[in-house]
């Protein structure tokens, strides 16, 4: 067993939002020298569309982490993540397979948000413009992600839109078009937090 490879995979699983829950089964699968295997785990979430913070965790989501062994070595790679979301009130589950490399390491929580129909902003690493194809240096940029849940491709996946800065989408510029009073007064944005702090401490802030 390649201990460095195992340590890296454990850190990768943790970074994706699974903590140490899968470490033991990962180590067991690798010790058996399987050519490929899938590790599964289930979670529950409060529906994102619910405004009730005390609402029950009724959205159920299953993850399958797909590992493959290197053909000419002992190292293993985590290539894809299968995600199945059972939304409250829906009889048909929502499903997606994320390619961790191509899809910029979508995490467990980000996958849940995307399958729930939300857009999200995420830091990604890309090659600088004009860089050679084999260049290793990359730069960090912010991009917006959105799943087209009303469309499926030949593999049964929903197309994943990745909008980079060059697409010209500027959230602040878009919000400026709307008469949102709270955005014009910084004190309004902080008011809910000040009320909470006053209720806890008894001291007006």
Residue-wise pLDDT for 63-117, tens only, equals: 999 999 998 889 999 999 999 999 988 999 999 999 999 999 999 999 999 999 9
Q: Which two tokens stand for residue 119?
A: 């857009």
Nearest to 37 by CA among 77, 7, 9: 77
> Which string of b and e fits 37-51 if b means at least 16 CB within 10 Å?
bebebebebebeeee
Same domain, 157 and 189: no
Same domain, 103 and 204: no
Q: Which two tokens stand for residue 15?
A: 């970074």
Same domain, 71 and 163: yes
Which residue range forms the structural domain that includes residue 181? Answer: 170-205
Contacts of residue 10, defined as CB under 8 A and 6 or more positions apart, other chains included, come to 20, 23, 26
Residue 196 lies in a domain: yes
Same domain, 157 and 180: no
161's enclosing H/E stretch is strand 160-163
Same domain, 111 and 182: no
Q: pLDDT-based confidence at 203, cuts 50/70/90?
A: very low
């Amino acid at each position: 067993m390649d201990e460095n490879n195992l340590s890296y995979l454990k850190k990768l699983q943790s970074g994706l939002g699974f903590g140490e829950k899968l470490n033991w089964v990962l180590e067991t699968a690798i010790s058996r020298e399987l050519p490929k295997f899938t590790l599964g785990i289930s979670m529950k979430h409060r529906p994102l569309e619910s405004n009730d913070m005390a609402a029950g965790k009724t959205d159920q989501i299953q993850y399958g982490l797909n590992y493959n062994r290197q053909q000419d070595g002992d190292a293993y790679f985590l290539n894809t993540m299968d995600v199945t979301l059972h939304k409250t009130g829906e009889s048909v589950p929502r499903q997606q397979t994320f390619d961790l490399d191509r899809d910029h390491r979508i995490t467990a929580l980000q996958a849940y948000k995307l399958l729930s129909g939300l857009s999200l902003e995420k830091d990604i690493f890309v090659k600088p413009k004009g860089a050679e194809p084999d260049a290793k240096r990359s730069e960090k940029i912010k991009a917006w992600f959105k799943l087209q849940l009303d469309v499926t491709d030949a593999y049964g996946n929903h197309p994943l839109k990745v909008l980079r800065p060059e697409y010209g989408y500027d959230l602040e510029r878009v919000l400026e078009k709307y008469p949102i009073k709270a955005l014009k007064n910084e004190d309004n944005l902080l008011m809910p937090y000040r009320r909470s702090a006053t209720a806890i401490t008894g001291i007006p802030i």
